[in-house]
Amino acid sequence: MSVTINCCCTVQMLDTDINPTWKNRKVQDQRLLQRAGQKRKALSDEVGKLKVKRRALQTDAEALSASADDFQIKQRNCSNELLAKANGM
């Protein structure tokens, strides 16, 4: 830190670390970076949750599709049996 004294006995600090404007700007930048990091983390967490939900929904959809296929096959077999019984009468 360097200090200069003028002839009218005022002291001026020339160090930029003591400059309140510079400190305020630095603090503001740190806050902005911190908020950006928090937002990034929140978005990352949300994306992770959505991926888990998507996997669960895909599993459910596949199970429902297989179940629907099985039901359709059983319905066909049942209707074929009924037709055979009706023809046999």
User: One digit per residue, pLDDT tens: the chain, 89 residues?
Assistant: 444 555 554 545 555 455 567 788 888 899 999 999 999 999 999 999 999 999 999 999 999 999 988 888 888 887 777 767 777 66
Residue 89 has a pLDDT of: 66
- 5 close to 11: Cβ distance less than 8 angstroms: yes
Q: How far apart are CA 80 and CA 11, in angstroms?
A: 105
Q: What is the pTM of this model?
A: 0.51
**CA 43 to chain CA centroid, nearest Å:** 3
Q: How far apart are CA 18 and CA 82, in angstroms?
A: 94
- pLDDT tens for residues 8-33? 545 455 554 555 677 888 888 999 99
Mean pLDDT of the chain: 80
Residue 1 has a pLDDT of: 46
